[in-house]
Amino acid sequence: MAGTLTILGLESSCDDTAAAVLRHAPGTAPVILSSVVEGQAALHTDYGGVVPEIAARAHTEKLDHCVEAALAEAGLALRDVDAIAVTAGPGLIGGVLSGVMCAKGLAAATGKPLVGVNHLAGHALTPRLLGEAPFPYLMLLVSGGHCQILLVRGAEEFTRLGGTIDDAPGEAFDKVARLLGLPQPGGPAVEREAQAGDPTRYRLPRPLLDRPGCDMSFSGLKTAVLRARDKIVAEHGGLPRQARADLCAAFQEAVADVLAEKTRRALDDYLALSPEAPMIAVAGGVAANGTIRAALQSVAEARGVAFTAPPLALCTDNAAMIAWAGLELFRAGRRDTMTLAARPRWPLDVASGGMLGSGKKGAKA
């Protein structure tokens, strides 16, 4: 069909190496022909976090293999793709460089056009990859490295309405899990534990809710969990199972309350634009959390706004979202050259600049 595009996407900005092939014909839903993600969790477990140098080396080793696997799964060869899209930032510089160099090599060898993509734009445009999001929509991007509320007006038009001034929510889940002796990644472990917990037994703060605006803070919440844990341990000589579950439930509910309230505030700015089909979307690993999803869904429902949360494989880091963002840019005429730079920091909303303290876990934005 005229205008059909097939894009190869590469992603290597944190600790997942990924390649995907995506096809889109105008007027139809995009088709993910393949999406390969090779994680590196095992390489980093002994260190309690992602080690940038180890991550960069692993990306270099895995990228070729991921590209081959993605093309094979799609039943295509490199000559069949129209362009190569690659994450050019923000992220761990060694990882981003590995991807950019690999994409440049493929582009130079085949003569295919190269498109550098902002990783955050990949997340923020994911609802359109699912074929259900006309601009503008409201996007809550919440993961281990990101936390932003964005007004998405176009493939390159983002307005940041708020974000964290310290930790990202996923980072807070991971730290709380560590404090309570739960395994990593902390989010799923805390959520599992919270199922048996009473969220009202321990009262935790809702940081920054007393201040106007949509900025958030999660670092104090983590410290509050630490204090509560120490008090329980001092009283009981250890951390009883039920107390741990109650603390997890209290923490999870506090995060959900903050995200819901700040999203509710952002909704006013969004609705002032009179969008034709108003929608709130969420993306990032933390979007997997049932309590958080439910809280956001009620915010949307209360105002008659649609709510969408992509399937988990498209919430966490993947290359299909990079291929899609690259496709939108390519269609709009974007072509990068061999001077394409790898950028450790690259705010989506240039006018608002970077957030104080953002990027603690791997220089995300």
CB nearer ligand KG4, residue 285 or residue 326:
285
> CB under 6 A: which stretch of 179-187, 230-238, 256-264, 327-335 binds ligand KG4?
179-187
Q: How far is the CB of 85 from Zn ion (least distance, A)?
A: 15
Q: Is 38 exposed, middle or buried (0-12, 13-18, 19+ CB in 10 A)?
A: middle
CB nearer ligand KG4, residue 178 or residue 303:
178
The DSSP bridge pattern shows strands 31-39 and 16-24 to be antiparallel
Query: Per CB under 6 A, does 254 bind ligand KG4?
Result: no
Q: In what order do the strands lie in the sheet with 147-154?
A: 157-163, 147-154, 137-142, 279-283, 306-308
In angstroms, rounded to a whole number, what is the distance separating the alpha carbons of residues 298 and 304? 10
Q: How far is the CB of 354 from Zn ion (least distance, A)?
A: 16
Query: Per CB under 5 A, does 317 bind Zn ion?
Result: yes
| Nearest alpha carbon to residue 10 among 79, 75, 105, 141 | 105
In angstroms, rounded to a whole number, what is the distance separating the alpha carbons of residues 335 and 147? 29
Q: How far is the CB of 133 from Zn ion (least distance, A)?
A: 18
Report the partner that residue 144 touches, choosing among ligand KG4, Zn ion, none (CB closer than 5 to 8 A by kind).
Answer: ligand KG4
Q: Determine contact, residues 33/72, Cβ cutoff 8 Å.
A: no
Report the partner that residue 188 touches, choosing among Zn ion, ligand KG4, none (CB closer than 5 to 8 A by kind).
Answer: ligand KG4
Q: Between the CA of residue 190 and those of 75, 76, 172, what are the distances in Å?
A: 40, 41, 11
> CB under 6 A: which stretch of 47-55, 102-110, 124-132, 284-292 binds ligand KG4?
284-292
The answer to whether the bond into 127 is cis (omega within 30° of 0) is: no
In angstroms, rounded to a whole number, what is the distance separating the alpha carbons of residues 128 and 324? 8
The pair of structure tokens assigned to 50 is 């992602």
Within 10 Å of residue 126's Cβ, how many Cβ atoms? 28
Query: Per CB under 6 A, does 170 bind ligand KG4?
Result: yes
Number of residues that bind ligand KG4 (CB under 6 A): 20
CB nearer ligand KG4, residue 168 or residue 280:
168
Number of residues that bind Zn ion (CB under 5 A): 1
Query: Per CB under 6 A, does 167 bind ligand KG4?
Result: no
What are the φ/ψ torsions at residue 249 (nearest 5 degrees)?
-65, -40
CB nearer ligand KG4, residue 164 or residue 289:
289
x/- mask, ligand KG4, residues 4-33, rule CB under 6 A, reads: ----------x-------------------
Query: Per CB under 6 A, does 49 bind ligand KG4?
Result: no
Query: Per CB under 6 A, does 284 bind ligand KG4?
Result: yes
Query: Per CB under 6 A, does 191 bind ligand KG4?
Result: yes
At 236, the amino acid letter reads: H
CB nearer Zn ion, residue 253 or residue 349:
349
The answer to whether the bond into 185 is cis (omega within 30° of 0) is: yes
In angstroms, rounded to a whole number, what is the distance separating the alpha carbons of residues 215 and 62? 37
Residue from 49, 188, 205, 275 binding ligand KG4 (CB under 6 A): 188
Within 10 Å of residue 284's Cβ, how many Cβ atoms? 27
Which residues of the shown chain bind Zn ion in the complex (CB under 5 A)? 317
Which residues of the shown chain bind ligand KG4 in the complex (CB under 6 A)? 14, 143-145, 170-171, 173-174, 185-188, 191, 284-286, 288-289, 316-317
